Amino acid sequence: MDIKAYIVLALILFTIGVTGVLIRRNAIIIFMCIELMLNAVNLLLVAFSKMHAMSAVAKASPTFASDAQIFVFFIMVVAAAEVTVGLSIIMLLYRNTRSVDVNFLNRLKY
């Protein structure tokens, strides 16, 4: 497999996420699109680590490819922490407005 195939796949997934943020108005769907973008970037990072795993730099240091996967691991950690806070903010929004439409939020207050 060429690296370009993985780049194009990750770009398509990322762009679908961007388009979702632009066209949907449900706050939960927008949040899920952000998760989709994070996952596209994760996939790209893993593909790049695999691409460089056979290079000369990787031969010099044995943990070269695992380092890149630790990166992805920490992105997942931050995403999990982000989801809890974000969903609680959405819950707060729903409790105050009885809706999850982001168009209600155009004044930064409810």
Partner 1 sequence: MELTTILFLILSLISIGSAVMMLMSRNPVYSVLWLILLFFTISAHYLMLNAQFLAVVNIIVYAGAIMVLFLFVVMLMNLNADTEPMKNYRLQLVGVIAGGSLLLILVSAVMKIENNQPVMLMVGDYGLIKVLGKTLFQKFVLPFEISSILFLSAIIGAMVIAKRDTPSQITKGETEKRSS
For partner 1, the binding residues in 21-40 under the rule CB under 8 A are 22-26, 28-29, 31-33, 35-36, 39
20-34: burial string, b at 16+ Cβ within 10 Å, e else: bbeeeeebeebbebb
From the centroid of its chain, how far is CA 47? 15
Interface residue with partner 1 among 41, 56, 60, 85 (CB under 8 A) is 85
Give the position of tokens 């999850």. 100
Residue 96 is a binding residue for partner 1 (CB under 8 A): no
Residue 12 is a binding residue for partner 1 (CB under 8 A): yes
Spell out, one character per residue from 47 to 76, where the chain touches partner 1: x when CB under 8 A holds, - when not.
Answer: x-xxx-xx--------x-xxx-xx-xxx-x
Distance between CA 74 and CA 1 in Å, rounded? 26
Interface residue with partner 1 among 41, 57, 59, 87 (CB under 8 A) is 87
